[in-house]
Amino acid sequence: MELREIDKTTEDTFLRCLHDEIPADPRVMAMRREWRAIYQPKGHRAKVLKDDSGQVVGLTNYIPIEFSPYEGMNLMAILCMWIHGYDHLVGNQQSRGYGRFMLEQIEQDARESGCDGMTVWGKDYDAWNPVSFYEHMGYQRADSIGKDVLVWKPFNEQAKAPGLLRPEHEAIPIRDSDGRVQITNITNGWCGGGCHQCMLVRDTVAEIEDKVELIQVYAHDKAEMRIHGTSFDTVAIEGSLFMPDGPPYGKEELKQALLKQHAKQ
């Protein structure tokens, strides 16, 4: 197996988060390429994992912590790691040691780059990106907000523990109302799921824009993340987070939530 930087043959698969079975949304692809163009010169790595037959079975992207949605210095920060877990295409490839191999390769890269340690964000449940995997791999908890947990692995005594970015506001700020429900969509571009969420919100609001106002925020750096109260892709209705820890939602579910809020107001 081999973990390698994306190239012309694998970029599309990476940007689509291994979902080669469905047509790509050109708006999502453009958003992801725009973010990549900004952050590749700052040390962003976008890589795919190939098995011994050359099939892509996983992906990861990571970056120096100074340009990540975490607080810290001289650490390498993993934005995401994903081993193909679907039934289609190459099939479910999880629980075969690929995750361990990928993480070890990232750590090696971080050491060779002169970093003092590694950090990665996960969820305190097993449904998606469970932090338990990283703890099993020797990572320690450094910080948490709700079910969001940041873990890390120091390489030396100089390493300082990282932290999750603390928002300046207790809730997502909202503007003076014109009578419409305000939905705030904060996105940055590094996450395919977040970009798809952004487009889902846009398409939903377009159908009921007489009742709903979309506030679109591109939080590309930490200053913007702090101002708007979050460091990850986020959707909020009237300042309250919409299903931050739930399963992926569809356009109809979001639409009904917005219409319900409009009727309440």
The reported pLDDT for the residue numbered 169 is 63
Mean pLDDT across 192-206 = 95
Q: Under a CB-based contact definition with an 8 Å cutoff, are residues 150 and 119 in contact? A: yes
- Cβ atoms of residues 119 and 76 within 8 Å: yes
7 contact partners, CB below 8 Å, separation of at least 6: none
- Burial classification of residue 146, based on how many CB atoms lie within 10 Å of its CB (0-12 exposed, 13-18 middle, 19 or more buried): exposed
151 phi-psi bin (left φ>0, alpha ψ -120 to 50, beta other):
beta
pLDDT category at 237 given cuts 50, 70, 90 is very high
Q: Could you tell me the pLDDT band of residue 73, with boundaries at 50, 70 and 90?
A: very high
Q: Which residues are CB-neighbours of 53 under 8 A, at least 6 positions away?
A: none
Spatial contact of 213 and 225, defined as CB atoms under 8 Å apart: no
The mean predicted confidence, pLDDT, of the chain is 91
Q: Which residues partner with 49 through β-bridges?
A: 3, 58
- Distance (Å, rounded) from C-alpha 81 to C-alpha 46? 10
pLDDT at residue 231 in the model:
64
pLDDT computed for residue 230 by the predictor: 67
Structure confidence by residue, pLDDT tens digits, 130-175: 899 999 999 999 999 888 899 999 999 999 999 998 876 666 767 7
E strands in the chain: 2-5, 45-50, 56-64, 70-71, 75-83, 117-123, 140-145, 148-154, 163-164, 181-187, 212-218, 234-237, 240-241
Nearest Cα to 119, choosing from 67, 186, 191, 42? Answer: 67
Report the distance separating Cα 60 and Cα 48, nearest Å.
6
This prediction has a pTM of: 0.90
* Domains detected in the chain: 2-164 (3.40.630.30), 181-264 (3.40.30.10)
pLDDT of residue 178: 85
For position 229, what pLDDT does the model report? 62
Question: 27-49, pLDDT tens digit by residue?
Answer: 999 999 999 999 999 999 999 99
User: Would the pLDDT of 89 be above 90?
Assistant: no
What pLDDT was estimated at residue 155?
98
Q: What is each CA distance from 212 to 203, 219, 233, 258, in whole angstroms? A: 12, 22, 20, 7
How far is the C-alpha of 120 from the C-alpha of 77, rounded, in Å? 6
Percent of the chain with pLDDT over 90: 71
